[in-house]
Structure 1
Amino acid sequence: MLNRQKTLLTLLVTASRGVSKLELTKWAFLVRQETTSQGGNAFYDFLPYKYGPFSFCLYREIDGLVRDGYVDVMGDSSLNPTDLAVDVVESLSRNVRKDSLRIVQRFKALKSDYLIDYVYNQYPSYTVNSERQKLVKRKVAEPKVFTAGYEQMSVDAFLNRLIDNGIQRIIDVRNNPIARRYGFHKSTLSRLAGYLNIEYVHIPELGIDSSRRRNLITDGDYQKLFNHYEQETILVQKEAVDRVASLVKEKASVLVCMEANPICCHRSRLANAVAELTDLNIHDLGYCMK
């Protein structure tokens, strides 16, 4: 079991009562934001959603804990830990357990509305998509040739980065958009982005087959591959490149692939071609991963 899942169970065990998914999500967010441990390594990332900070990964893993018998769902939809949960809590690091206890002790007496009010007031940037109250207006960027890689990121962190940068559309330029990491398979990424009012477009003809990316070691290997990509794809798939240029000019759109560093990704060459067609600047959304 992942340590972040143990942290969720610790929050439930410490509460000594049924806890709603909304409460558990906000408590986990506060563990991340207001404790020294921040929930430990590889804890959940959060993004702004209907009722403030939210994590698609967290909700998915709650369902897994229910399925595996660590959590019971009561008639009022509240979550209660089982004896199995109690058994695993002790294996969590002492610091994270202490921080989880502090958060529960501070907030468990608050009704949901008051808990949400606290989170909204302390972290207003997470209200940009709220159906309850928007304290900050969502950013909308001016068109540029934006690019981004999701390597080493959770889907929550990745989508939050897009929201923070005012992105309105994903242009997926992977040849075969499947991924082991939750959230980055084509259908899942499209669905999750849609929940956040981010459009998703897939243009597979501008990708590179994974078989051609094997055994890339040196900078020269990458440059040779991408030189071939320019000749065999960008120049040949002119209609697809023109489509990307049109989409990029229309509203803030980001070319998305896996690699964090754009220099190691074909999207950098595609971005150059699109920039020439549109006279827009290129801006990568960064690859300093959490």
Structure 2
Amino acid sequence: MRELPDKTRYYTLDEAEGKEFEKVDLFISDVVLILFGLSPDKPIYSRIKYQKGLFLFYKELDKKGYTYEDPHFIPYSYGPYSFLLTQELDNLVWSNFIKVEGQYGKETEAFSLTEKGKREAQAIIEEKIRRKDLEDFKLFRRSIDQYTVKGILRYVYANYPQYKERSKIKDKFKEIKWGRGKG
């Protein structure tokens, strides 16, 4: 067994044979498709909102007790970032589950489900999301959609400051200390 810097463990086939591995409710592709499928006709604008929205969605999954394949978020240029989520987005685009429109790397870049992606997302939601959690998750998705890129960054940096340490723009999001002033 070997371990990468992000704590990902990998085994040779011989090492893995006969070994018990942790079972999870949701794989990375499931989580991505679920987030999109909660509002299947609404795109997610920008790669930053894609990453931060999923970061926050994983926090929601934690609260509800779901187990999932770890996306290995690290502090990066714009806060929490997962290389695995970037790769998964590329895989889902390549597989024709998600389409991309707009200018690469800009806030106008839009990611949305294709018809094939909508069917798959709906099937995953029906199979893997508990009915009692569905409305809460849909409300969560609507709240994420209402954030601008700056808004979601402000929220993430305020609530998860450990992820802004390597951010290129952290100085634009200074903490405000509320309290009694003089006078």
How high is the TM-score relative to the length of structure 1? 0.42
Counterpart AA for 1:114:
G
Counterpart AA for 1:6: D
2:48 paired with 1:22: yes
Question: Which shows bigger deviation, 29-38 or 60-69?
Answer: 29-38
SS in structure 2 of the partner of residue 128 of structure 1? coil
Which letter does structure 1 place at the counterpart of 2:81?
F
1:63 counterpart residue number = 90
Q: Given the alignment, which residue of 112, 118, 124 partners 1:91?
A: 124
For the pair 1:125 / 2:162, whether they are aligned, the reply is: yes
Q: Distance in 2 between matches of 1:38 and 1:105?
A: 21
1:239-258 superposed matches below 5 A: none
Partner of 1:110 in structure 2? 147
For residues 100 and 112 of structure 1, do their structure 2 counterparts lie closer, same or farther at Cα, with a shift above 3 Å needed? same
Q: Distance in 1 between matches of 2:91 and 2:72?
A: 18
- Residue 109 of structure 1 aligns with an amino acid whose one-letter code is Q
1:61 to partner: Cα distance: 0.8
CA distance in 1, matches of 2:71, 2:36: 16
Percentage of matched positions with identical amino acids: 24
Question: SS state of the match for residue 42, structure 1?
Answer: coil
Distance 1:70 1:111 in 2: 25
Aligned to 1:50: 77
Q: Which of 106, 109, 113 matches 1:81?
A: 113
Q: Secondary structure at 2:72's aligned position in 1? A: coil
**SS of equivalent residue, structure 1 residue 91:** helix
> 1:102 Cα deviation (Å)?
3.4
Question: What is the one-letter code of the residue matched to 2:31?
Answer: T
CA contact (8 A) 1:26 1:53 kept: yes
Gaps of 5+ in 1: 137-290
Q: Is the 8 A contact 2:79 2:153 kept in 1?
A: yes
Partners of 2:71 and 2:43 in 1: how far apart? 22
SS at match of 1:30: helix
Check the 8 A contact 2:28/2:88 in 1, yes or no: no
Aligned counterparts of 2:71 and 2:78: Cα–Cα separation in 1: 17
Q: Does 1:40 align with 2:73?
A: no
d(CA) in 2 for partners of 1:5 and 1:26? 16
Three-state SS of the structure 1 residue aligned to 2:147 is coil
Question: Matched residues in 1 for 2:75 and 2:101: separation?
Answer: 27
CA displacement at 1:86 relative to structure 2: 1.2
In structure 2, do the counterparts of structure 1 residues 39 and 59 end up closer, same or farther at CA, with 3 Å as the change threshold?
Answer: farther
User: When the two structures are superposed, what TM-score results if normalisation uses the length of structure 2?
Assistant: 0.65
Q: CA deviation at 1:38?
A: 6.3
Return the alpha-carbon distance in structure 1 between the equivalents of residues 65 and 78 of structure 2. Answer: 21
Q: What is the total number of aligned residue pairs between the two structures?
A: 135
**Distance in 2 between residues matched to 1:63 and 1:38, nearest whole Å:** 28
Q: Give the C-alpha shift of residue 7 in structure 1.
A: 1.9
* Structure 1 contact 71–85 (Cα < 8 Å) conserved: yes
Structure 1 stretches of 4+ moved >3 Å: 37-40
Q: Which amino acid counterpart does residue 67 of structure 2 have in structure 1?
A: G
User: Would you say the 8 A contact 1:7–1:100 is kept in 2?
Assistant: no
- RMSD of aligned C-alpha atoms? 2.4
Paired amino acid for 1:118: Y
